[in-house]
Structure 1
Amino acid sequence: MIVKKLQPLIVLAILFLLASCSSIYMPNVPATPMFRNQGEAYVSGHINTQGNMSGSFGVAATDHIAIITNGSYIKSGIKSNEQFDQKLIEGGVGYFAKMGKDKKQILEFYGGYGIGNTLNIDKRASTMGFEAVETREMDFDKIFVQVNYSSTQKRKLNLFGNKRELNYGTAIRLSRVGMTDFVVDGVGVQKEENLFIEPVFFTRLELFKGFQLQYTTGFNIGVVDNEYLKAGNSIFTLGVSYNLGQKK
């Protein structure tokens, strides 16, 4: 079972979450359309308890070439000790193919570029509410390469009186993220860049043709030991995805 194979990695993800420290970069949920044929379109949306929202769109231009766009937005901690706001948008192009005897496995490769902005404020409580202690803001860009893999379970899950298709997948992304502008308390400081390894695991349950409920979990590893632009934020989201024009 794929789930059993992924269990050690999921445990590792949780350990990274528990050991994480504050970072000025929040990874987004990557696009995982898992295309099968030319003409398919894909749209998805995801959210977590911190208010981190991600959305994706993609289209299969040919039987093997696809285009994807992806964005995320988070605004959290306005009335707490730490405020974190981030906007990110990215796009890419890639190759996809069906695999296996029954063509139930899909492999995708993507490469792309993105830009974003982050506002991170450390605060302290006072009689007037929360006051800013340190304010950090960065503009950044990113270059990423990504590999997606998914497999559909041969046996379907019985749910609400019907058999529902269940599939599992993973996306492994390498992202070079670099600051294009960085200020601390309004003063420009030395810019940083990092290379992030971002494994993501997802489970999809088909509710009806093309429409799936998706749970996503993931984490990131930073290669460079930076002060601000480092690993530390993980992905735990619930969302939906829809593939239009998919052929059986």
Structure 2
Amino acid sequence: MTVVLRLTLLSVLIGLSSCSSLYFPPPPQAPLLTQKGEFSGGLHTNFSQNTALQGAYALGDHIGVQGSASFLRSDKKQSFFGSRNNRKYEEHNFGEVGLGYFTRMQDQRVLEFYGGYGFGDGKRTERREGATTQTLEGNLQKYYLQANFSKKLSKTWHFFNHDWPVSYGMALRASYVQLHDFKIDGKPQEMEDNVFLEPISFTRISVLGPIQFQMISGSNFGLRSRKYLKAANSVFQLGIIVNLGGQEGKR
């Protein structure tokens, strides 16, 4: 539990110290499918109120599809140590669809590769002493490639007089994102784009039957220097996932 608490505290501090960006990355989805007909679904959120609903389905023994919808509504101070009267209201809506390949190795590890497309919109309104000072808004378009890997390694945590099976995995996502139809106070601005790398690790704790609690912790790196489309928001997420119709064994 000590490791989980440290990762949680680190992610909170990163989120509190981050600068504003019109892109809030949804959590990389790692369904870890194992056979035809399997379904994986999840619901995640974080301290920035970035909430995502995800689902994946195995069309064949090695082919899977996945989709997600994420949204955010946040009204908070412009900076952690700033005045309560200087606030920013953020809206973000985003959807993704992807197609990929999955396989299960002889030692029960699962490996997945997905590619997909995403689209959405973002808006940020800044207020000072109750009066609007600036409004930024635009549409987002995204292309991504992602690899997911789950280790065979697992252990059991014992607390509250109960044994909780725990498994681990990791994912790496590379995304090309465009901010277009971009406006500041209603005036058109130049399009921005960026390439993001999102390496993450996840911990899953079996709660009841196919239901698992999941914690995602990772980083977000922007490979290009941009003012409004940058890696400024946390990848940290907490959620619940469920896998139905899959093969037995740790994943």
**TM-score, length basis structure 1:** 0.87
* Contact residue 24 and residue 50 of structure 2 kept, 8 A: no
Deviation at 1:34, TM superposition (A): 0.7
SS of match in other structure, 2:229? coil
Count how many residue pairs are aligned between Structure 1 and Structure 2: 237
Question: Following the alignment from structure 1 to structure 2, what is the Cα–Cα distance between the partners of residues 164 and 186?
Answer: 53
Question: Following the alignment from structure 1 to structure 2, what is the Cα–Cα distance between the partners of residues 39 and 27?
Answer: 28
Superposed CA RMSD: 2.5
Alignment of 1:79-158 (within 5 A): 81-101=87-107, 103=108, 105-125=109-129, 130-158=130-158
Deviates more, 1:168-177 or 1:147-156: 147-156
* Contact residue 177 and residue 193 of structure 1 kept, 8 A: yes
* Contact residue 219 and residue 233 of structure 1 kept, 8 A: no
Alignment-mate amino acid for residue 38 of structure 1: K
Deviates more, 1:155-164 or 1:46-55: 155-164
Identify the residue that residue 194 of structure 1 maps to in structure 2.
Answer: 194
Question: Following the alignment from structure 1 to structure 2, what is the Cα–Cα distance between the partners of residues 85 and 150?
Answer: 33
Question: Following the alignment from structure 2 to structure 1, what is the Cα–Cα distance between the partners of residues 16 and 87?
Answer: 19
Identify the residue that residue 51 of structure 2 maps to in structure 1.
Answer: 53
Deviation at 1:10, TM superposition (A): 9.3
Question: Following the alignment from structure 1 to structure 2, what is the Cα–Cα distance between the partners of residues 16 and 162?
Answer: 33
Alignment-mate amino acid for residue 148 of structure 1: N
**TM-score, length basis structure 2:** 0.86
SS of match in other structure, 2:236? strand
SS of match in other structure, 1:239? strand
Q: 1:158 to 1:10 in 2, by over 3 A?
A: closer
Deviations 1:134-159 (A, max 9, x none): 10001011000001111244443345
* Structure 2 residues not aligned, in runs of 5+: 78-85
* Contact residue 12 and residue 47 of structure 2 kept, 8 A: no
Deviates more, 1:10-19 or 1:40-49: 10-19
